[in-house]
Amino acid sequence: QVQLVESGGGVVQPGMSLRLSCAASGFTFSDYGMHWVRQAPGKGLEWVAVIRYERNNKYYRDSVKGRFTISRDNSKNTLYLQMNSLRAEDTAVYYCATTDSRFLLEWGQGTLVTVSS
């Protein structure tokens, strides 16, 4: 069955960097696009970024453009989110999810990122 396991979350100070990983198994990773979605404590879902299966197409929400980079290593079945210049408002649980290009099909359990001084 599909399994997505996020890691790399933690507590960081504002302005610092963090790299999240999402290890995929149970499906042909290279055939699927992948999203990152976040959820601030007690708040709703917020889409962050997507990378298409062929890696060339990437889209970001405006508030993370220029600071976050989504990437993937199909040889390792792993999705990444490099987060630089972190801000307090980036504090959230970050989920990775598979996509059929439109909808978010399967989700990981999430990893918590806390940005605080």
Partner 1 sequence: DIQMTQSPSSVSASVGDRVTITCRASQDIAGWLAWYQQKPGKAPKLLIYAASTLQSGVPSRFSGSGSGTHFTLTISSLQPEDFATYYCQQADSFPRTFGQGTKLEIK
How many residues make up the chain in this entry? Answer: 117
Closer CB to partner 1, residue 16 or residue 57?
57
Closer CB to partner 1, residue 18 or residue 96?
96
* Contact region with partner 1 (CB under 8 A), list: 23-31, 75-83, 84-92, 104-112: 104-112
Interacting positions 55-74 with partner 1 (CB under 8 A)? 59-62
Give the CB-side neighbour count of residue 111, counting CA atoms within 13 A. 20
CB 96 within 8 A of CB 35: yes
Closer CB to partner 1, residue 35 or residue 72?
35
33 near partner 1 (CB under 8 A): no
Shortest Å distance, C-beta 78 to partner 1? 18
Binding site for partner 1 (CB under 8 A): 35, 37, 44-47, 50, 59-62, 95, 102-110
